Amino acid sequence: MEGQLKNRVQEYYRHVLREECSLEWDFLRQDMKRRWKREEWANYSKSFNSKSKLLSYQIKSISINKVQNIPIGKVTIVVKHKLIQKNKVEQYEGDEIWIFEEGDWFRHLEPW
């Protein structure tokens, strides 16, 4: 299960590196897909990517736990990105939550 999650995270970040905004939508949990249409997500993502461009990523660690019998993955990731307006490169380390549903892993984003 950990290998499947790692592959899924890598696939997601390959799309982000290629700026394939509409394909990022495929990695969102179903509750996010009910809130956003694919085109809306692509426009949001393009707007975000106009301010910051992902240069690289590294998966630092993965852990999986079950909550109410649902696998929840915590992925610690290090990303390097360029802030376009400031012409500055920054590195960030943080945790992402991925949830196993419908036979695959999907990103969990806090509702906005």
Report the distance separating Cα 16 and Cα 35, nearest Å: 21
Report the distance separating Cα 103 and Cα 85, nearest Å: 40
- Nearest 10 degrees: Cα torsion 86, 76, 26, 85: 0
pLDDT of 52: 84
pLDDT of 97: 95
Whichever domain contains 82, its CATH number is 3.10.450.100
Which regions of the chain are under pLDDT 50?
112
For residue 16, the enclosing domain spans 2-108
Backbone angles phi, psi at 85, to 5 degrees: -65, -35
Q: What is the pLDDT of residues 71-100, one digit of tens each?
A: 999 999 999 999 888 889 999 999 999 999
Number of domains in the chain: 1
